[in-house]
Amino acid sequence: MTSTVQSLLPAHAIIEGTHSGIVSVSDLRTAAKQTLALCQENGTWHVLSDCTDVTDIPGALEFLNLIEALEQVHLGPTFRQALIWPLDEKACLNFDEWRIIEANHGFHAKAFGDRDVAIAWLEA
């Protein structure tokens, strides 16, 4: 798997998903399930998705299907997601499509180029 999920507690009330290399839809589904479980377990709905080392991600249609599945799950009312942009240019193009899809579906998500700034936004 190219994705891992962990809690940043006690330092930060944040659940972090770190993704690298070629990320498949299967990787994203597994990471989403693990993230939701940790959010519920830890009582925090702030998620940091670090995609810095991603080289390829699913396109808009595949991501739209994932978002539609997430809409069926009850996310906490304080759900926020900070996304850290990938360094790879091709991955950035797909990543930008992700941001638009999330915004169009009412997800409170914002993209960042810096991890510390992303964490500060989640904690604000």
CATH of residue 45's domain is 3.30.750.24
User: Long-range contacts made by residues 40-43, C-beta under 8 angstroms, separation at least 24?
Assistant: 42/7, 42/9, 42/13, 42/15
Looking from the CA of 81 toward its CB, the CA atoms found within 13 Å total 21
The model scores a pTM over 0.85: yes
Number of domains in the chain: 1
Per-residue pLDDT of the chain in tens (124 residues, 90 and over written 9)? 589 999 999 999 999 999 999 999 889 889 999 999 999 999 999 999 999 999 998 877 887 788 887 778 877 788 999 999 999 988 888 777 877 888 888 888 899 999 999 999 999 9
The confidence score (pLDDT) of residue 1 equals: 52
- Evaluate the CA torsion angle 92, 60, 62, 74 in order and state its sign: positive
State which residues form the domain around 62: 3-123
Assigned token pair, 16: 């972090």
